[in-house]
Amino acid sequence: FWVVSFALIFTISQIVLLLKPRIGLYFVIATLLFLLLSAYHSYNYRKLAISLAILPVSTIATHFLAQPTKFGGLLEFYSIVLLLAVVCGAIFHGSEPVLGKPLKWHYTYLLPLMSLVGAGLGTLGYFVMKHQYQFHGDPLKILIVSSLVFAIAEELLFRGLIQKLSTKLSNPVISIALVTSLYVLISISKLSYLPDIYAGVVSIALCLIYAKSQNILLTITLNVTSKISYILIFAFMGIH
């Protein structure tokens, strides 16, 4: 019930934020208050509630530290997410490896495989979102380096914190559904529904890989290569 309640509140806040940013900000604040109250009253959900609160906190901070460009806003948002995810991960997981279970040597072949899958997803992203590219004019080198920041931030938060903690409280299916819903909602676009479907496909793939391997290095590799491939294809096609 708690997960459903949060998902409903977060969905409403993100949709209103997309359509009416000023009004939506109040809904984001309400979402944050709900999570803080949940963390205070429920010991079982405390770590998960605090981890989920990273999203509204980052959204609110980005709003008040407004950047002149879309890319600047995204970089600011994900930088805050990365910082808070690292802090929460260090506090909640203690001495556990940051990247999850060590990758056994006979599984190292999965790293190049993740790169190939990521490149495939990036290519799919190009065809799906060919007309929704938002980074025209932004320096290519900065976009590529920023992709690494975006990917690490997403993996530490969505896989390293939210999926890991919610799986302990419920089951893998509910955890994957929660993470995918959140990922789609922060990526939601009013230009087309295709980017939302693409975000859902990528999130499910990443969640399944993490559920099987419990290693974030694999999902970071896939996430980074998908983002960089997406950007490089636009640059190669002369659209950048």
More confidently predicted of 99 and 73: 73
State the pLDDT at residue 110. 85
Q: State the average pLDDT over residues 92-105.
A: 64
pLDDT of residue 69 exceeding 70, the answer is yes
Tell me the whole-structure pTM to 2 decimals.
0.90
Phi-psi region of 137 (alpha: psi -120 to 50; beta: other; left: phi over 0): left
Which is more confidently placed, 92 or 189? Answer: 92
Q: Is the pLDDT of residue 115 over 80?
A: yes
pLDDT at 102 over 80: no
Collapsed DSSP state (helix, strand, coil) of residue 67: coil
Q: Are 36 and 49 in contact (CB under 8 A)?
A: yes
- Cα Rg, the chain, nearest whole Å: 17
User: Quick count: other Cβ atoms within 10 Å of Cβ 184?
Assistant: 20
Rounded mean pLDDT of 136-154? 90
Confidence band (pLDDT; 50, 70, 90) for 222? very high
2-19 and 172-186 are packed helices; what angle lies between their axes, rounded to 10 degrees?
Answer: 10
Q: Are 32 and 57 in contact (CB under 8 A)?
A: yes
Q: At residue 106, does pLDDT exceed 70?
A: no
* AA letter at 23: I
Give tens-digit pLDDT for 12-53. Answer: 888 898 888 889 999 999 999 999 998 888 878 899 999 999
pLDDT of residue 35: 92
Least confident of 57-61, 133-137, 183-187: 133-137
Answer yes or no: are the C-beta atoms of 76 and 30 closer than 8 Å.
no
Residue 183 has pLDDT above 80, yes or no: yes
**Residue 130's pLDDT is what?**
79
pLDDT in tens, 151-180: 999 999 999 999 999 998 888 999 999 999
